[in-house]
């Protein structure tokens, strides 16, 4: 199977929901609490018996992802604290042996599959309970034990839950932050690890956080184009670095911001993985539900502009802030159709510049209403007339522009030619 074939569903999906859930959810201070407060492992381990999420919580996560219009999900099967949400021969520190005594990964995988969502698993390589992670030279046996556990647990995850679509490693960096990516990959024996994964799950997509390049890059808290691989930009709805439940979390992003990030990711031919951090019972807080639902409502009407979209060469304009000299315009594309996603509605007339391809028809994607337009083949200026004075959609309105060919951007050979209008 080629890279393109393997990536097909992922590219079409564009939008996923990330779920951070673990013992840290009980504390409500984010997923880094064990380390940032230097809580000794034995003391932290006592949380395991309090881990008692409500029955059916995984269904709730899946329902939220569906309502958001997401096409796949990724669950933290174990974060840096080392607590596993699955049954493991390699550790007793699991949700099956403590607290609720349930295999949360199984519940999640079943619920996601039943809802038709692709299934992603997150797995942290580093485990803060092992001195051999922090000081591998000083504690070689602990490092060996850690590696044995990782290779064994990844095998379990890849064997016991049917077809897994996506594997997202994390925590690949070395504690002293000295190694380069190859050094990380060597430390985790990523070549061997991923060869096993691919043998067990031949169609799986793997991220690059083990230090080994593989299929996708996963930048955090920013939306950007891939440097070498296709990109999945992941982000919190609240503050950065509060992926796990953070009880007091003042800076929620608005639905408008979330949608702009999603559209921007699609414009850059990448995906957007938006995180929710369920509370100790596994429930998703209203602040998160409301916001992702708004995105879902928008996608119901405008999803054509996002799912399975391709990169578009065109630029704005008529949108303050989004026009610049040669950067990305707010367009996506499918074949000869351009989708102009307008966040800052211009009023009755929308103007796009540097359009090199003849236009056949312009409609509002959400309603099909058609608009008059004028395209100047010499200057490349496209004007769309008779639009409503107020934005038709408060989040973003999409003009569907049908071209005679794949829309291309016109080169401005003489940067001053627009002054005379010729
Ligand atoms: C990071 C953080 C982590 C978070 C993750 C999300 O590397 O360490 O807490 O889970 O990225 O992708």
Instruction: Indicate if the pLDDT at residue 321 is higher than 90.
Output: no
Q: Over the stretch 73-100, which tens digit does the pLDDT of each residue have?
A: 999 999 999 999 999 999 999 999 999 9
What is the residue with the minimal CA distance to atom 10 of ligand 1?
Answer: 243
What is the residue with the minimal CA distance to atom 5 of ligand 1?
Answer: 170
Q: Over the stretch 103-125, which tens digit does the pLDDT of each residue have?
A: 999 999 999 999 999 999 999 99
- Residue 287 banded pLDDT, cuts 50, 70, 90: very high
Between the CA of 218 and the centroid of ligand 1 the distance, in Å, is 10
Residues 327-343: what's their mean pLDDT?
A: 86
- pLDDT computed for residue 202 by the predictor: 97
- Residue 329 banded pLDDT, cuts 50, 70, 90: low
Our answer on whether the CB atom of 234 is closer than 6 Å to any ligand 1 atom is yes
- Residue 239 banded pLDDT, cuts 50, 70, 90: confident
Residue 85 and residue 282 in contact, taking contact as beta carbons nearer than 8 Å: no
Between the CA of 220 and the centroid of ligand 1 the distance, in Å, is 8
What is the residue with the minimal CA distance to atom 4 of ligand 1?
Answer: 243
**Is the model more confident about 275 or about 312?**
275
- pLDDT computed for residue 57 by the predictor: 98
């Amino acid at each position: 199977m080629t890279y393109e074939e393997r990536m097909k569903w992922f590219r079409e999906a564009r939008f996923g929901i990330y779920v951070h859930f673990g013992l840290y959810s009980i504390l409500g201070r984010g997923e880094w609490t064990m380390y940032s407060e230097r809580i000794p492992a034995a003391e932290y381990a006592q949380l395991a018996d309090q881990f008692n999420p409500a029955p059916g919580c995984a269904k709730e996560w899946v329902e939220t992802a569906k309502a958001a219009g997401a096409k796949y999900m990724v669950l933290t099967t174990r974060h840096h604290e080392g607590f596993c949400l699955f049954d493991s021969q390699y550790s007793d520190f699991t949700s099956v042996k403590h607290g609720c005594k349930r295999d949360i990964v199984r519940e999640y995988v079943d619920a996601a599959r039943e809802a038709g969502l692709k299934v992603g698993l997150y797995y942290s390589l580093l485990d803060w309970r092992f001195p051999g992670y922090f000081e591998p030279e000083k504690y070689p046996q602990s490092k060996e034990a850690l590696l044995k556990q990782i290779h064994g647990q990844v095998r379990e995850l890849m064997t016991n839950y049917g077809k897994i679509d996506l594997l997202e490693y994390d925590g690949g960096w070395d504690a002293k932050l000295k190694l380069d990516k190859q050094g990380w990959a060597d430390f985790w024996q990523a070549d061997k690890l991923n060869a096993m994964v691919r043998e067990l799950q031949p169609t799986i997509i793997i991220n690059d956080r083990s230090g080994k390049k593989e299929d996708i890059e996963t930048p955090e808290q920013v939306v950007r184009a891939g440097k070498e691989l296709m990109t999945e930009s992941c982000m919190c709805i609240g503050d950065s670095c509060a992926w796990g439940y953070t009880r007091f979390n003042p800076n929620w992003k608005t639905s408008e911001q979330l949608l702009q990030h999603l559209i921007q990711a699609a414009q850059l031919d990448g995906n957007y993985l938006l995180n929710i951090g369920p509370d100790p019972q596994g429930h998703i807080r209203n602040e998160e539900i409301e916001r992702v639902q708004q995105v879902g409502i928008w996608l119901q009407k405008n999803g054509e502009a996002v799912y399975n979209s391709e990169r578009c060469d065109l630029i704005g304009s008529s949108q303050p802030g989004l026009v610049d000299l040669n950067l990305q315009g707010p367009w996506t594309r499918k074949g000869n159709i351009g989708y102009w996603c307008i966040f800052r509605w211009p009023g009755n007339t929308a103007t796009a510049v540097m359009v090199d391809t003849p236009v056949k028809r312009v409609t509002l994607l959400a309603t099909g209403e058609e608009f008059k337009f004028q395209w100047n083949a010499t200057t490349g200026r496209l004007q769309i007339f008779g639009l409503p004075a107020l934005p038709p959609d408060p989040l973003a309105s999409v003009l569907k522009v049908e071209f005679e060919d794949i829309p291309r951007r016109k080169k401005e050979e003489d940067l001053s030619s627009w002054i005379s209008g010729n």
